[in-house]
Amino acid sequence: MMTPKEILGHVTAEPFRPFRIRMASGETYEIKQPETVRVGRTNLTIFVPLSDEAKGDELWHKLSLLLLEAIEPINGRRRPRRN
């Protein structure tokens, strides 16, 4: 499990660097813009626009922090997980 503080470190990094979230199930989510992520105490909400043109059209995923396995840069290099 990653803490909200650890995830916020990635979301609020200056400059922002896109990253991938890897879940225990094997699912991955690419975060290319910081405003697409909301971090809570026990969960993470990711908003995915369905199209570039339609405003308000979006899909969202609510993920448990308990099931978040790793965060890694999108460029492919893995960032070590802190315990």
User: Sorting pLDDT into bands at 50, 70 and 90, what band is 5?
Assistant: very high
**What pLDDT, in 10s, does the model give residues 35-68?**
999 999 999 999 987 766 656 556 899 999 999 9
User: Sorting pLDDT into bands at 50, 70 and 90, what band is 76?
Assistant: low
- Per-domain residue ranges for the chain? 4-73
Alpha-helical (H) ranges within 1-83 are 4-11
Q: Are 64 and 8 in contact (CB under 8 A)?
A: no
Per-residue pLDDT at 50: 73
Per-residue pLDDT at 2: 85
Please give the CATH number for the structural domain made up of 4-73. Answer: 2.30.30
Distance CA 26, CA 69 (A): 9
The residue type at 12: T
pTM above 0.75, yes or no: yes
Q: Rounded mean pLDDT of 22-41? A: 94
Token look-up 């803490």 returns 3
Distance CA 30, CA 19 (A): 6
